[in-house]
Amino acid sequence: MIPDTPHTPDTFDVSGVPAVLRVQDLVVAYGQHRAVDGVGFRIAPGESYAVVGESGCGKTTLARTVLGLLRPAAGEVALEGVRLDQARGRDLRALRQRVQIVFQNPFAALNPRMTVARLVDEPLRLAQPDLTAAARAEAVSALLTSVGLADRFLGRRPHELSGGQCQRVAIARALAMDPVLLVLDEPTSALDVSVQAQVLNLLADLRQHRGLAYLLISHDLGVVRRLADRIGVMRAGRLVEEGPTQQVLHEPAADYTRALIAAVPGRGRAALMGGPEAGDEAGSGAAGGPAPGDGARADPSAKPAPAPASGAAAVPASELSAPSSIGSSQ
Amino acid sequence: MTLLTVEDLTIDFPRPGGRSGGATRPVRGVTLTVEPGQTLGVVGETGCGKTLTGLAVLGLLPPAAQARGSIRLDGRELLGAPPSQLRAVRGGAIAMVFQNPATAFDPVRPLRTQFERVIRRHRGGSREQARARAAELLAEVELHDTDRVLGSYPHQLSGGMLQRAMIALALSCEPRLVIADEATSALDVTVAQQVRRLLLRLQHAHGFGVLFVTHNLGEARDLCDRVAVLYAGEVVETGPVEDVFTAPAHPYTKALLAAVPTVDDDGAPLASLPGEVPADVLAVTGCVFANRCRQAADLCRSTPPPARTLPGGRSALCHFADPEVAA
């Protein structure tokens, strides 16, 4: 794991190791609307960075830009030191290969007419066109093994798999391109709790064994806690807070971060009714400027209530000492 | 008197053509009760039967489904009741809040029309009276810009606003029971929290009972008085919510709670539940959870477990459910 060095997004190279991903002063606009508005961060090799935020905050736009699917209006995106935003044609395709994505809904991400073997073989042909059929078959089998799927799944199609198995296939496809960075866009939010745990454990193992870096997009702070070394909290196109996971979750600096943490259910009824009004803070606009598509902001019911100095302050003292989450309480 | 009693509810989907092989039984012998003003959480994973149970109470099962058992509201039997009687109950004594408000409203009509229809259908009165009532209801769910909201089509409102409007519509005929199926799952986290608070406030003010169907254990803990944990179509554990969550008696409940990643956990690998629900639960001779259970013994593989009554109003469907071990 990479030690938490002081973070300076505008510095090219802090530790002597080029960043896997460096995003600087990034602006991505749809017409007049700046969906991403001056975002900067870097991801070191093997590091896992989570972008947390609600609908419309720009996190998906950010991910698409990092994948080279959207062109920024301003700013830089560099992969291993090479400017993705300036690359064209063959260079861009070669760079894109280094970043792969795992989508939220694995059923929608896999071609229903293909068998598991073909689904994993497809990217492998692109990544390594010189391999023989036999060598590819071996590689497909090895990739599936690495995501915990036995060879008996080779002939199956997506509808014959569970959600967790589909997501494993999607991960194997991403790994087939031998990326340095995996973009994980809500990778477990379509999965059941017990399956989610399996996939989270798998993702943690893969990172450790392959030295992969992750850009995790999520709204689930429990998932983020589990997978990320650092967190950037995004709101209305900007990063409102950034830091090591533990620090952001336990000593949040921004009101919006506190509101997000307070909105995690599972602390019991007293805490639910006693905590700060997260939505009100969401409506008060830390980053200013209205953003279309943001439900909390558009909600006229959001009253301008003064934000409490600390999210924890409004929670009864008894809740502070108790584990605030159901999973650790048994 | 108990508000809602579901007793030994079993739902079959027979194979088309009348063949017996391949029939599915997604709900098997489910028994639940909701007391007036109380919230029962029905929690479980995909395919556990929680949504079908809710739909059965509303009489909204798909035509192919065959339900047996008993569903009583205030002592009156609903299962097998004539459609005219069910129409009077649906939207009246029993209201439903669906997961996705964007698809639950009619997309081609403004909200005003949809409120008028429901209110006049159940309570009669003029259009003006219905509109006044709609405005009153929206104010109650904290949508104060009532003219704009009522004049809007569903796509013009945010998810949080629509879900509030849906709750207002559900309350329009003063229901005794509200069935909420994943009512906050499609919402952003901070909006979901507002909706949970709203539900609790409204319940406090109106005293309706709630059947809260969710896969989110944290949400169940925040909203419910009691929970019923479903697995593969059966209630495997019931009890007061804090007791079940702090000292689960059934191995499935324990595994489920241990699998939730939390903000405070220590980073040790999550205790994931190995394996899957058996493809054909009707072919299982013993306990349906035995193939995934760490504590399974020979008895579990040969004999279906009885529903054991435990102290404190709890029960668990397990040969080895032991409140002392659990606590």
Q: Quick one: average pLDDT of B227-241?
A: 97
Percent over 90 (pLDDT), chain A: 69
A208 lies within 8 A of chain B by CB:
no
Say what the pLDDT of residue B20 is.
Answer: 55
pLDDT band at residue B16 using 50, 70 and 90 as cut-offs: low
A161 lies within 8 A of chain B by CB:
no
Q: Quick one: average pLDDT of A19-44?
A: 95
Judge: A263–B261 Cβ closer than 8 Å, yes or no.
no
A225 lies within 8 A of chain B by CB:
yes
pLDDT in tens, A45-58: 999 999 999 988 99
Instruction: Return the closest-CA partner of residue B256 out of B78, B41, B54, B6.
Output: B41
Give A297 to chain B, closest Cα distance, Å: 9
Residue A208: count of CB within 10 angstroms of its CB: 11
pLDDT band at residue A274 using 50, 70 and 90 as cut-offs: confident
| pLDDT at position B223 over 80 | yes
pLDDT in tens, A212-257: 999 999 989 999 999 999 999 999 999 999 999 999 999 999 999 9
Q: Which residues in chain A (25-64) have CB-CB distances under 8 A to chain B?
A: 54-55
Say what the pLDDT of residue B267 is.
Answer: 73
CA dist list (Å): A103 to A60, A144, A160, A311 = 11, 18, 19, 32
| pLDDT at position A9 over 80 | no
| pLDDT at position B18 over 90 | no
A1 lies within 8 A of chain B by CB:
no
pLDDT in tens, B43-52: 999 889 999 9
User: What residue in B sits closest to A220 (Cα-Cα)?
Assistant: B189
A323 lies within 8 A of chain B by CB:
yes
For residues B324, B325, B326, B327, the Cα torsion angle rounded to the nearest 10 degrees is: 50
Say what the pLDDT of residue B275 is.
Answer: 82
Give B85 to chain A, closest Cα distance, Å: 36
Q: Which residues of B touch A272 (CB under 8 A)?
A: 193, 196-197, 200, 222-223
Say what the pLDDT of residue A14 is.
Answer: 52
Give the closest of B200, B255, B272 to A273, CB-based.
Answer: B200
Q: Which residues of B touch A195 (CB under 8 A)?
A: 45, 272
Judge: B262–A325 Cβ closer than 8 Å, yes or no.
yes
B211, β-bridge pairs: B40, B179
Give the closest of A222, A277, A296 to B188, CB-based.
Answer: A296
Q: Quick one: average pLDDT of B208-223?
A: 95
Number of Cβ pairs closer than 8 Å across A and B?
194
Judge: B160–A296 Cβ closer than 8 Å, yes or no.
yes
- Give 3-state DSSP helix, strand, coil % of chain A, rounded to 5: 40, 20, 40
| pLDDT at position A289 over 60 | no
Least confident of A125-134, A272-281, B78-87, B232-241: A272-281
One-letter amino acid of B156? Q
User: What residue in B sits closest to A302 (Cα-Cα)?
Assistant: B142
Q: Which residues of A touch B161 (CB under 8 A)?
A: 295, 298-301
Say what the pLDDT of residue B304 is.
Answer: 95
Say what the pLDDT of residue A276 is.
Answer: 56
pLDDT in tens, B267-295: 778 888 888 888 888 889 999 999 999 88
Domain parsing of chain B, residue ranges: 4-93+173-326
Phi, psi of B220 (to 5 degrees): -60, -40
Say what the pLDDT of residue A190 is.
Answer: 87
CA angle B182, B188, B189 (to 5 degrees): 85
Strongest mean pLDDT among A166-170, A296-300, B85-89: A166-170
Say what the pLDDT of residue B99 is.
Answer: 87
User: What residue in B sits closest to A198 (Cα-Cα)?
Assistant: B272
Judge: B257–A329 Cβ closer than 8 Å, yes or no.
yes
| pLDDT at position A6 over 90 | no
pLDDT band at residue B212 using 50, 70 and 90 as cut-offs: very high
Judge: B262–A225 Cβ closer than 8 Å, yes or no.
yes
Contact A92, A68 (CB under 8 A): yes
| Long-range CB contacts (within 8 A, 24+) of B238-245 | B238/B32, B238/B314, B238/B315, B238/B316, B239/B310, B239/B312, B239/B313, B239/B314, B239/B315, B240/B312, B240/B313, B240/B314, B241/B41, B242/A268, B243/B312, B243/B314, B244/B314, B245/A326, B245/A329, B245/A330, B245/B217, B245/B221
Residue B6 C-alpha from the chain's centroid: 12
| pLDDT at position A306 over 70 | no
Say what the pLDDT of residue B196 is.
Answer: 94
Percent over 70 (pLDDT), chain A: 78
pLDDT band at residue B23 using 50, 70 and 90 as cut-offs: confident
Mean of pLDDT over chain B: 91
Judge: B270–A219 Cβ closer than 8 Å, yes or no.
no
Residue B20 burial (10 A CB sphere; 0-12, 13-18, 19+): exposed
Say what the pLDDT of residue B323 is.
Answer: 55
pLDDT in tens, B193-205: 999 999 999 999 9
Judge: A269–B271 Cβ closer than 8 Å, yes or no.
no
Mean of pLDDT over chain A: 82
CATH superfamily of B4-93+173-326: P-loop containing nucleotide triphosphate hydrolases (3.40.50.300)
One-letter amino acid of A20? V
Q: Return all residues near A111 (Cβ < 8 A) that are at least 6 apart.
A: A119, A158
Judge: A249–B216 Cβ closer than 8 Å, yes or no.
no
Give the closest of B192, B263, B270 to A325, CB-based.
Answer: B263
Say what the pLDDT of residue B263 is.
Answer: 86
Strongest mean pLDDT among A265-274, A292-301, B303-312: B303-312
Instruction: Return the closest-CA partner of residue A143 out of A171, A162, A164.
Output: A171
Give the closest of B148, B196, B270 to A201, CB-based.
Answer: B270
Give B285 to chain A, closest Cα distance, Å: 24
Alpha helices in chain A (DSSP H): 59-66, 89-97, 106-109, 116-127, 133-146, 163-176, 193-210, 221-227, 245-250, 255-262, 269-274, 278-284, 295-298, 317-321
Among B264, B277, B293, the residue to mutate for chain A (most A Cβ within 10 A): B264
Say what the pLDDT of residue A15 is.
Answer: 57
Say what the pLDDT of residue A42 is.
Answer: 95
